[in-house]
Amino acid sequence: MITNIYIITVIAVIGGSLFGFDLSSMSAILPTNQYRCYFNQGPHGPPFNDETHCSGPDSTVQGGITASMSGGSFIGALMSGFLTDIFGRKSAIQMGSVLWLIGSTLCCASQNIPMLIVGRFINGVCVGICSAQVPVYVGELAPPHLRGLVMGAQQWAITWGVLIMFYISYGSSFLAGSIAFRLPWGLQMVPALILLVGLSFTPESPRWLAKEDRWDECCHIISSIHANNNLDDAFIQLEIQQLKDACEMERSKTDNTYFDLFMPHMIWRTHIVVFVQVWCQLTGINAILYYITYIFGMAGLSGNSNLMASSISSVINVIMTIPALLFLDRIGRRPLLIGGSISLAIWWTVCAGLMGAYGTPAPPGGLDHIPEVSWVITGAPAKVVIACSYLIVASFAPTWGPIEWVYPSELFPLRLRGKAAALSTASNWAVNFALSYFVPSAFVNITWKTYIIFAVFAFAMTLHVFFVFPETSGRTLEEVEDAFKGVKLAWNMGVDKRQDEERTPSHKSHQAEHDEVVHVEDTSGSM
């Protein structure tokens, strides 16, 4: 059994890369003539006429093709709460990887749009399961001081999936015929196979094992990962005792259904974990990642230059996620969320202003017969729009990107954690589904005003985070649970850094570089 938390994380977050693979395989393929001609719905190109540039799927249909994965992800996220409670975190993720293999096979072999939609929907079910449960799984295995790092690695894996598949799809675009999109859709199966096999060598979540009264396995896994098999370590004994106390308390409670997430004593954190995912989608990041080729088309780029410029956003996404992994647990969740949303509001506003002031309507039917490229901007303003698109990605990657996966798994007691993560992730995919449908039609009908919508959302989320979202950095999951007892103000649920020896002297000997832990304060400042 693998007990190194970093290796476990590398294997588990392949589940996140699957989302990145699917997202990028669609965004890079959208503007290619091979795809647009094979699924052409007219009026330009074969079989409608002899023009070389095909219209491709109707904008509404394309929205449906893109959104089908989000729809499946919504279902998968909700299902994951039941699957993980019954079969465990690890087994649920493995079930998702099997579904991915099935869905990718259908996409690769798709003969028509309905078959493609079904394949993407099944892929989406996998993504919903993995995106909900991978952060829970690695978060429950990791020691407190590494929880932000390993849970945030989910987002980094997504960015790597986006980057790798974008360049695979770009290379495939030079192939003639349908192999140009079938090849990348087929290669998506490789990481799922690695995930399925790799998880066979990793441990189950100790907190799920504790819930199932499998204490020998639970204690062995915790001591193996957190203290090199030293079960007598004082910190390990404290952690296990906290877990036993939490399980004992939860056995006396029967509120472990989705309905119970909306009870008065849970509604505050339920609304937080729902909105952290809703706001994450309303940052507009997936509008950028799904449809950046349309945006750069409006800025005057086409063909290979468009694809290469679009790929830079994927590189930025990977690079800018690294600072969050390194400093997320030191800086905290709230400062990054607030700073990120302020930056996003600025860049979206600049894009909207430049598009509105310097842009003009595209010819009827859009540039190159692509209806979504319905607005044209040229010269220096176009370059600024491209730069701001990159800055949107650069602002999102170290802030909202990783925290959307970390936060929901930190706020709930063990009995509700799986379902809370599932509901939170389902909220993400519900909004993702709506945006996938909305953005292509919005580019056609309201053109540059689409940018204003995302700017307003970014400003609204800044206020919401400041007034409502508490800090969770550095606390054990059981301490986070204690933090919600009593009435507190979000900005006063701050951090008080103290030396490790105040809590457990021996923990410092095992993690000398992490010489501080974070304790929750109430509004009066007492512990």
Strands 360-361 and 495-499: unpaired
Q: When comparing pLDDT for 478 and 152, which is higher? A: 152
**In angstroms, how far is the first alpha carbon of the chain from the final one?**
39
Whether 161 contacts 20, CB under 8 Å: yes
User: Residue 445's pLDDT band (boundaries 50, 70, 90)?
Assistant: confident
SS (H, E, C) 8-34: HHHHHCHHHHHHHHHHHHHHHHCCCHH
pLDDT > 70: percent of the chain:
88
Domains of the chain: which residue ranges? 1-230, 261-493
CA distance 212 to 233: 24
Residue 332 has what pLDDT?
A: 83
Residue 408 has pLDDT above 60, yes or no: yes
Residue 414 has pLDDT above 80, yes or no: no
Element (H, E) at 520: strand 516-520
- Of 83, 119, 79, 71, the C-alpha closest to 99 is 119
DSSP state, 488? Answer: -
- Of 335, 331, 337, 338, the C-alpha closest to 518 is 331
CA distance 97 to 425: 17
Residue 495 has what pLDDT?
A: 44
* 1-230 and 261-493 have identical folds: yes
Residue 491 has what pLDDT?
A: 55
Give the helix ranges, DSSP H, for 88-188. 89-109, 113-141, 147-172, 179-187
CA 67 to chain centre: 16
**pLDDT tens profile 268-290:** 889 999 999 999 999 999 888 87
CATH T-level fold of 1-230: Growth Hormone; Chain: A; (1.20.1250)
**Which range scores top for mean pLDDT: 4-18, 260-274, 490-504?**
4-18
For residues 98-110, average pLDDT: 96
Residue 255 has pLDDT above 70, yes or no: no
* Superfamily (CATH H level) for 261-493: MFS general substrate transporter like domains (1.20.1250.20)
Residue 248 has what pLDDT?
A: 81
**pLDDT tens profile 66-100:** 889 888 988 998 888 889 888 999 999 999 999 99
Residue 250 has pLDDT above 50, yes or no: yes
Mean per-residue pLDDT of the chain: 83
**pLDDT tens profile 360-379:** 998 888 877 778 888 999 99
**pLDDT tens profile 425-443:** 889 888 988 887 888 888 8
User: Residue 514's pLDDT band (boundaries 50, 70, 90)?
Assistant: very low
Residues 6+ apart with CB under 8 A from 5: 138, 141, 142, 143, 146, 150, 225
What pTM does this model have? 0.76
The CA-based angle 13-399-373, given to 5 degrees, is 90
User: Residue 516's pLDDT band (boundaries 50, 70, 90)?
Assistant: very low
Please give the C-alpha separations between residue 520 and each of 139, 147, 369, 523, in angstroms, as whole numbers: 19, 17, 58, 10
SS (H, E, C) 290-312: HHHHHHHHHCCCCHHHHHHHHHH
For residues 119-147, average pLDDT: 88
Whether 374 contacts 243, CB under 8 Å: no
**pLDDT tens profile 187-233:** 999 999 999 999 999 999 998 898 888 999 999 998 988 888 888 88
The CA-based angle 289-294-298, given to 5 degrees, is 130
